[in-house]
Amino acid sequence: MSETGVTQLRIGVLAIQGAFFEHRAALLKAAKNSIFSKDIDIEVKDIREPDQLLDLDGLILPGGESTTMSLFLRSSNFEDVLKEWVASKEKPKVVWGTCAGLILLSNGIEAQKEGGQSKIGGIDVTTSRNFFGRQVNSFETKVNLHNKFLLGHCGTALNGCSNSDTDAGYHGVFIRAPAVVSVDSPNVEVLATIDLPQREEPVVVGVAQDNLIATAFHPELTEDPLWHAYFIRQILERTKKGRKMEIEAIDNCLPSQ
């Protein structure tokens, strides 16, 4: 917290490909909502160099072509610096990967490319690349939510609350998307699933573990800042920059005082 009493959050978006502009806009939109205190100031930065990571509280790894992302991360020692930064216990921070970002944060990758897919790791899941097929099989569908905050705010555009609707869903955009094929630890929280007619069990498309979040779909390509609000909430809690009463108010859909 600064000397003025304002909580300052610095959030980075890896800006090499994918919808990093849309992520930035969604973060700023989410931050303006009444569930967050007016004493929270959020700065969003485009990240293209390893040394830009140092003062961040959170980082988004956008979607895009995973091979292109791997080539970039292996240049300028970015991959090693990012791994150390994510794993550091000295200054906690929160990382969210969307689409290709889910692959990067998974400890296991099914059908990994020859020569090795870049992997940051940290989430105990096995993920299948292009689980749903190629670009022509990209689609939009209802996403089932399994988290108190996400359920409580879904369908309200963050302008109210509907905690009672446990069947609430979210509109998900999937583009050559991966999916989680196995959850390999009880420490992993399943945040989101989708139902497919050809499969008996729901497909896991959103997970969290400790300070890491990953989704197979693209929340930044919708008008709803739900997932970006959840990301900000996690930063406030994990970095201990948010007061306990603020976190409780956010979770219970109450406007902050």
DSSP string, the chain: --TTSPEEEEEEEE-SSSSHHHHHHHHHHHHTSTTS-TTEEEEEEEE-SGGGGTT-SEEEE--S-HHHHHHHHHGGGHHHHHHHHHH-SSS--EEEEETHHHHHHEEEEETPPTT-------EEEEEETTTT-SGGG-EEEEEEE-SHHHHHHTTTTTSS--TT-TT-EEEEEESS--EEEEE--TT-EEEEEE--TT-SSPEEEEEEETTEEEESS-GGGSS--HHHHHHHHHHHHHTT-S-HHHHHHHHTTPPP-
Query: What span, in angstroms and rounded, lies between the C-alpha atoms of 73 and 66?
Result: 10
Place of tokens 């007619």: 197
218 is catalytic: yes
Q: What is the pLDDT of residue 19?
A: 80
3 is catalytic: no
Query: What span, in angstroms and rounded, lies between the C-alpha atoms of 59 and 44?
Result: 9
Binding-site residue ranges: 64-66, 129, 175-176
Q: What is the pLDDT of residue 204?
A: 98
Q: Which residues pair with 192 in a beta bridge?
A: 145, 206
Query: What span, in angstroms and rounded, lies between the C-alpha atoms of 131 and 178?
Result: 5
Q: Which of 23, 79, 99, 154 is catalytic?
A: 99
| Chunked mean pLDDT (size 10), the chain, 257 residues | 72 86 93 80 93 94 78 82 86 91 94 69 94 79 93 63 51 94 98 94 97 97 94 91 75 56
SS3 string, 95-109, reads: EEEECHHHHHHEEEE
In contact, 198 and 146? CB cutoff 8 Å: no
The answer to whether the predicted template modeling score (pTM) of the entire model surpasses 0.85 is yes
Q: What is the pLDDT of residue 138?
A: 87
Q: What is the pLDDT of residue 42?
A: 92
Q: What is the pLDDT of residue 135?
A: 60
Q: What is the pLDDT of residue 144?
A: 95
Q: Which of 218, 228, 246, 253 is catalytic?
A: 218
Q: What is the pLDDT of residue 115?
A: 56
Binding-site residue ranges for L-glutamine: 64-66, 129, 175-176
Q: Which residues pair with 194 in a beta bridge?
A: 203
Q: What is the pLDDT of residue 96?
A: 98
237 is catalytic: no
